[in-house]
Structure 1
Amino acid sequence: AQYAKPFSEIQLMPGRLTDPLHWRKPCRVFVNSVSDLFHPKVPVEFIAKTFAMMLRAHQHTYLVLTKRGERCATLLNDERFRDKVFHELIYSGEYYCAQCQDWYECAGPLDHCPNCGHECDLGAYEGKDPPCPQCGEEVEYEMTCPKCGADGGNGGLNCTECWSQEIESNWMKWPPPNVHVGVSVSTQADLDEQVPLLLKCPAAVRFLSVEPLLGAMDLRYALGDEASMHYAGICPEGLRPRTLGDDSKYGHTSYIDGVIVGGESGPGARSCNIKWIRSIVRQCADADVLCFVKQWGSKPCLGNHDAPAAAPDANMDCGGTCGYGCEQFKLNHPKGANPAEWPEDLRVRELPR
């Protein structure tokens, strides 16, 4: 979905999947801005193509955030989905269409020529050498493989054997080493529902996006040693282990690598109590988990209630009206996203690499 579309309406943009291939400088890519890759209406084939392109453009780091932890965990643990991703990966790239006699870039074998609709096919040129995409002349690909010296295949870049080794050693990795998977939560109820699902996901890095933060949160089960006890019966397999200290009686446990936290902004934004943010920062520090304070939101406030026992140092819900003795902070930045306006202990901006 896009800004101009309702969230119930899905708009796929396959033409943008190959954009990262043209970015030379490695960068961090937020895959889902105002969208959800695991929305129930997004076809599995499109999700597979997205993961294939993330593997192919492996110089970048991708953050995949979802509110649908259940579908995410189901697909990422499905060997059929993994095989579909690898199939898309192997057959993605530039193809030559025999019908319109032109080259085009596609994101997998299920794509079609954008000009004539001919299905993408490696053998579309019927055994003949396709014309040069630059001059249009038919050429003989007699280049040698730069790795082993054999006569070139696959467009003269590598011989078939070296090409296969290149794919297997650098691309066909599961879970993808450059893909970070996270779930979006706003309340304790969201957290309790989504964390077990996130821990089921095979991922190089798992993170929580606590935005907008709408209440006090107890993250200790998700961040620390207790995660192995709290979720042991829910997700005993398929988890990336964390090596703990020698004095740990658990040895290894699955965990959350990072937490992003922020208040709500924009028209109709609800209040965010600064004590809630400070509590999350402290809980992350105690668990040795990276934390990134993104913003305070449009209505940051500070209440005077006693902290609930479930969330140490946090404050009770201010009711979204800055009542109950809450003090409204007046910040210059409309989203409260300028760390220079914050206390030093909240200027925390760490992300997993």
Structure 2
Amino acid sequence: MSAESKIEWTDRSWNPTTGCSKISPGCDNCYALSQSKRLKAMGAAKYQTDGDPVTSGPGFGVAFHDSALTLPLQWRKPRRVFVNSMSDIGHAQINDTQIARIFAVMAAAEQHTFQVLTKRPKRIAKLLTRQSFVEHVHDAYATLPQNASRVGAPVWPLPNVWMGTSIESDDYCWRADELRATPAAMRFLSLEPLLGPLPSLDLTGIDWVIVGGESGSGHRDLDLDWVRDIRDRCLGCATRFFFKQVGGVRAAAGGRLLDGRTWDEMPELAGSR
């Protein structure tokens, strides 16, 4: 899957961290891994840390980038922002303090809507329910210069932050349970690349579902019946449904139609109610 396809449902991506490692089958053809290798070869400063050659690779070592941390505070026009399109905020090498700083910036940049996606929802659920972590977020928020004149701490959970997790096969439907346990204004699932049917998936408490097939030279084929089943269950419980792509050698190869139409349902953005 290309980076462009990955973030087509956002206005911008924001990568205060980069790098990751394979933890489940959906990672096997990771676009970010191959893109990091290219960026390292091109000399891109943020992609010079190598990861484990078995689970990661050149330029894909986990790194925290202070220089990128406050970028959203410079964007005046409200945006939908995909957090860490080239990483995973829940990775063990991103420490609690760093994650708190990321949440503090999201709290301060309240005009934007942030979409945080992780394959490690268990860690994130534990972290966001811990009072000491919330206090760390408040402390980091107070140190941002633009917050000097503000009174009080930000509302928790942050109303402009959507929390999501990735599920590619039925073996990983437990990630939705961890997401349900996570304090969040909006919860979403990224079912991509969808590698099989998801009969065990429970959509209770899930606001939005994104489904997509894999793209790239080694893509695994998508069966549209898997997608239809998920769509029908979303329609039955008022969960918004977004079908990103069928997939193929190129992201756009299979198109976006499902039963003769596109499906572009999304939750309302923060501040639009």
- The answer for unaligned runs of 5 or more in structure 2 is 1-17, 20-35, 38-49, 269-273
Displacement over 6 Å in runs of 4+: none
Q: Which residue is equivalent to 1:125?
A: none
Matched, 1:290 2:220: no
Cα 1:337–1:77 change in 2 (3 A) is: farther
Q: Which residue is equivalent to 2:45?
A: none
TM-score scaled by length of structure 1: 0.58
1:189 maps to amino acid: D
- Whether the 8 Å CA contact 1:266–1:335 is kept in 2: the answer is no
Q: Larger Rg: 1 or 2?
A: 1
**How many Å apart are 1:222 and its aligned residue?**
1.9
**Aligned alpha-carbon RMSD (Å):** 2.0
Instruction: Kindly report which structure 2 residues correspond to 1:166-177, keeping only aligned pairs within 5 A, or say none.
Output: 167-168=152-153, 172-177=154-159
1:350 maps to amino acid: E
Instruction: Kindly report which structure 2 residues correspond to 1:256-271, keeping only aligned pairs within 5 A, or say none.
Output: 256-271=206-221
Per-residue CA distance 1:17-39 (angstroms, 9 max, x = gap): 11111111101000021310010
Cα 1:218–1:45 change in 2 (3 A) is: same
Q: Which residue is equivalent to 2:202?
A: 222
Q: Which whole-Å CA distance do the structure 2 matches of 1:63 and 1:186 have between them?
A: 18
Q: Which residue is equivalent to 1:55?
A: 107
Per-residue CA distance 1:229-267 (angstroms, 9 max, x = gap): xxxxxxxxxxxxxxxxxxxxxxxxxx0001010001112
Q: Which whole-Å CA distance do the structure 2 matches of 1:336 and 1:286 have between them?
A: 30
1:207 maps to amino acid: F
2:82 aligned residue (24, 30, 50): 30
Identity %: 37
Per-residue CA distance 1:288-315 (angstroms, 9 max, x = gap): 110111111117xxxxxxxxxxxxxxxx
Matched, 1:189 2:189: no
1:63 maps to amino acid: Q
Q: Which whole-Å CA distance do the structure 2 matches of 1:337 and 1:257 have between them?
A: 26
**How many Å apart are 1:45 and its aligned residue?**
1.0
- Whether the 8 Å CA contact 2:128–2:134 is kept in 1: the answer is yes
Q: Which whole-Å CA distance do the structure 1 matches of 2:131 and 2:251 have between them?
A: 46
Cα 1:350–1:336 change in 2 (3 A) is: farther
Q: Which whole-Å CA distance do the structure 2 matches of 1:28 and 1:178 have between them?
A: 10
* Higher RCO (C-alpha under 8 Å, 6+ residues apart): 2
**How many Å apart are 1:180 and its aligned residue?**
0.3
Tell me the number of residue pairs that the alignment of Structure 1 and Structure 2 aligns: 216
Cα 1:336–1:218 change in 2 (3 A) is: farther
Local SS of the residue matching 1:222? coil
Local SS of the residue matching 2:100? helix
1:349 maps to amino acid: D
- Whether the 8 Å CA contact 1:284–1:290 is kept in 2: the answer is yes
Matched, 1:199 2:180: yes
Greater percentage in helix: 2
- Whether the 8 Å CA contact 1:294–1:337 is kept in 2: the answer is no
Q: Which residue is equivalent to 2:260?
A: 344
Q: Which whole-Å CA distance do the structure 2 matches of 1:210 and 1:35 have between them?
A: 17
Q: Which whole-Å CA distance do the structure 2 matches of 1:81 and 1:334 have between them?
A: 39
Q: Which whole-Å CA distance do the structure 2 matches of 1:290 and 1:164 have between them?
A: 35
Matched, 1:86 2:138: yes
Q: Which residue is equivalent to 2:222?
A: 272
Cα 1:80–1:217 change in 2 (3 A) is: same
